[in-house]
Amino acid sequence: MELLAFGDTGWGDELFRATLMTIAVSITAMFIGFFFALIFTPLKLSKIRFLNFIANSYTTIIRGVPELLVIYLFFFGGTGAVMFVASIFGYNEYIEINAFITGAFAIGIISGAYSTEVFRGAIQSIDKGQFEAASVLGLNKFGKFFKIILPQTLRLAIPNLSNVWQITLKDTSLISVTGLVEIMRQSYIAAGSTRDPLFFYSFAAVLYLLLTFLSMKLINKLEVRYSRGF
């Protein structure tokens, strides 16, 4: 137990901070994912085939390629890409991107592909009559979407989004390969310096279980809230 003490003697405070980091990366990645879903879901539902093709390529590629490979692409390619863009604007110094941003972006793009599929499915499962009724009421396109379709989509999407959240949360463990100090990385450091990997990796597993358990409880509450009136 003294291994987990807070302060200089134990790893308690380090692991606590690492847990907060995992939560922060997961939430950031989830929101980046929502942003991507916001772009690609309309493309998927669009009647223009070229736009369909773009959105389908995005979700197929991301869901068919290992997360770790995507992370390596961002880790090794991210700096190069940013420096290339900067060089267009005449900035030629070396730029190092923060591990948090690279990681959150990589996981966010992955999570976005799953979110896109969830939103597509949710919108498609809304009764056609709802769209027609909204048109009959004389609502314009935005009113129709935000007042009628979106609230119903959310209700249908939340159970599946909770799966996406679980996947995202677990995927953040992979960012440890880029050196961001989240639960996995901190356990790796602690295991290396105390020569007690069994304890620290098991403790990491407990932390992840705790996070998934607590977030499920929270999401269940949200689900109840958004199902009101049905």
Partner 1 sequence: MDFELMANSFPKLLNATVITLKLLTVSLIIGLFIGLFFAILRLNKNIFINKFAYGYSYVFRGTPLLVQIFIIYFGLGQIEYLRSTFLWLVLKEPYWCAIIAFALNTGAYTSEILRSAFQTIKPGMIEAGKSLGISNKIIFYKIQIPIAIRQSLPAYGNEIILMMKGTSLASTVTLMDLTGVAKYIISTTFKPIEVFIVAGGIYLFMTFIIHNLIKFLEKKYSF
The nearest distance, CB 52 to partner 1, in angstroms, is 18
Listed in sequence order, the residues at least 6 apart from 189 whose beta carbon sits closer than 8 Å to its beta carbon are: 14, 181
The nearest distance, CB 214 to partner 1, in angstroms, is 11
The nearest distance, CB 104 to partner 1, in angstroms, is 16
- Short-list 139, 149, 130, CA closest to 41: 149
Q: Of 60 and 130, which CB lies nearer to partner 1 in the complex structure? A: 60
Q: Of 71 and 148, which CB lies nearer to partner 1 in the complex structure? A: 71
Q: Of 76 and 146, which CB lies nearer to partner 1 in the complex structure? A: 76
What are the residues binding partner 1 (CB under 8 A)?
60-61, 63-69, 72-73, 76-77, 80, 166, 170-171, 173-174, 176-177, 184, 187-188, 191, 195-198, 201-202, 204-205, 208-209, 212-213
The nearest distance, CB 163 to partner 1, in angstroms, is 11
Q: Cα–Cα–Cα angle for 33, 36, 59, nearest 5°?
A: 90
The nearest distance, CB 199 to partner 1, in angstroms, is 8
Please answer whether residues 75 and 148 qualify as being in contact, where contact means their C-beta atoms are separated by less than 8 angstroms: no
Q: Of 130 and 193, which CB lies nearer to partner 1 in the complex structure? A: 193
- Short-list 39, 34, 41, 38, CA closest to 120: 41
Q: How many residues does the chain have?
A: 230
Structure tokens given for 134: 């909204």
- Rounded to the nearest 10°, the torsion over CA 9, 13, 16, 21 is -110
Q: Of 52 and 79, which CB lies nearer to partner 1 in the complex structure? A: 79
